[in-house]
Amino acid sequence: MKRVSVKKNAFLNVVKQICSILFPLITYPYISRILGSSSYGIYSFADSIVSYAVLVADLGVTTYAVREGAKIRDNQNAINDFASEVFSINVVSTLIGYALLVIVTLASARIMADKNVVFIRSLIILLTTVGMDWINNIYEDFKYITIRYIAFQTISLVLMFIFVRSSKSLYAYTLITVIATGGGNLLNIIYIRKYVQVRLKFSRLKQHIKPILILFANNVAVTIYVNSDITMLGFYSSNNAVGVYSLASKIYNLAKLMINAVVMVMVPRLSYVVNQKEKYEKYVFSTAKYLIYICLPIVCGVAILSKQILYIVGGNEYLTGSMSLSILSFAIIGAVGGSFFSNCVLLEHKKEKFILISTSTSAILNVGINIFMIPKFGINGAAITTLIAECVDCVLEAIYSREFISISKLISKDYIYCFIGSISVLVICCLIKSIIGAPIMCVLVSGLLSAVVYVYFISKDKDIRRELLAFIDR
């Protein structure tokens, strides 16, 4: 198999991650005025309910398939059998996920009230299963994944302006979001044949069940502490509060996913070299370094300009979520750190049980605190519990990772340039915010000046300078 560039894949995956969530953010100034925060709150609540069915349907298959499949991708017979067995498990789990979703919907009057939105949004489950996008990840085919996503995001953007024209267009909007995020998976049915031949195969499944179930338990914990805030807000607060918090959460997730794309693109490569200690450590420490350099300035910018960002994306109706967004911006550090330790270290060494312990602890803590914080502090309480959960998860996984990598090596004296640059971003954003009142101009000027100053400082790191010069040369 032809070796692909990790740097190119990292860039492509960042682009793909941006597109996967940028669609609702680009269109939100329009959607927020057509649907309003109440209707969007209905969509967000329904989406949070469907996410649990998505969790059951996935069952941990995606993570397991990428990790194990990358090791045998050069053996055609082995990868054919592996893909068929994993897909067969995924089909069964999908049927179970749909069955549970129907039962929960029928049993809850609150969910039943939004049953049509729940049903439409649940189509993403089927599209994800038949798409088997994990096969493209195994072969690091991020070029195809990125082009496909951009194409369907563009199609969905056009459809939205055509069909979402009034407050009665909630169903149309929900269907379009399904097309935007999952419609491209239909192409995979044909495309993945270039890599594997998949069929239903229910023999030799036992060897896969245990590790998949461990990953599933971990995914349950992650989903609980990621989605429990919106779900609980749906029961304790108004649709308007859910809509406001959901927008703040989407912006937080955009920033998190852009950074986390660097982590996810490294998973198949790390699986490929995990037994080659020197190469493995080189990739791990390089990944950690770039994550820190990307993460800190974004956190500083979002924290200071939260009000301006919310106004640009949603309008005045959503400004009450500015404090929540500022709090969530700091959760990015814990979320990205936790993703690094779990995906790049613990998962690669088959220590799913440590990931499960960390995420379960964070999930229990999140739900427990939410019970007290949401009724008292509303959306800001939900944001605080997310911050606590992400940080606890990161710390626990870092402790477990000490067995496989040196945590002290992750801290370099060269990071001083990153810290100085990030402080400069903080200062610049505060000054521009006090001088320029227009939100769009404030964000643009702050972003441009911050980028210039930050690049100046981090370019003093010889490795970063070499990368920047190479990029300019190309």
What's the confidence (pLDDT) of residue 268?
67
pLDDT at 177: 87
> How many Cα atoms occupy the beta-carbon half-sphere of 21 within 13 Å?
20
Q: For position 472, what pLDDT does the model report?
A: 45
Report how far residue 419's alpha carbon sits from residue 296's, in angstroms, rounded to the nearest whole number. Answer: 8
Write 55-58 long-range contacts (CB < 8 A, 24+): 55/97, 55/216, 55/219, 55/220, 55/223, 56/93, 56/96, 56/97, 56/100, 57/90, 57/93, 57/94, 57/96, 57/97, 57/98, 57/125, 57/128, 57/129, 58/90, 58/93, 58/128, 58/216, 58/219
In whole angstroms, what separates CA 323 from the centre of its chain?
Answer: 22
Residue 376: how many CA atoms within 13 Å on its side-chain side? 8
Specify the 3-state DSSP secondary structure of 165.
coil
Q: Is the dihedral of CA 315, 321, 327, 333 positive or negative?
A: negative
Length of the chain: 474
Question: Reduced to 3 states, what is the DSSP secondary structure of residue 413?
Answer: coil
The residue ranges of DSSP E strands in 313-423, in sequence order, are: none
Question: Could you say which DSSP state residue 347 is in?
Answer: T
Short-list 105, 458, 68, CA closest to 293: 458
Tens digit of pLDDT at every position of the chain (474 positions): 555 555 666 666 667 666 666 666 677 777 777 877 678 778 888 888 898 898 889 888 888 888 888 788 888 889 899 999 999 999 999 999 999 999 999 998 888 988 899 999 999 999 989 989 889 888 878 788 888 888 888 898 899 889 988 777 889 999 998 998 888 888 988 898 888 988 888 877 788 888 888 878 877 777 776 677 777 887 777 777 877 888 888 888 878 877 777 676 666 667 667 677 777 777 788 788 888 888 899 999 999 999 999 888 877 878 888 999 999 999 999 988 888 888 888 877 778 788 888 888 888 888 888 888 888 888 898 899 989 989 999 999 999 988 888 777 777 666 788 889 999 999 999 999 999 989 999 999 999 999 999 988 888 777 666 655 554 444
Question: In sequence order, which residues have a C-beta less than 8 Å from that of residue 422 and are 6 or more positions away?
Answer: 296, 297, 299, 300, 454
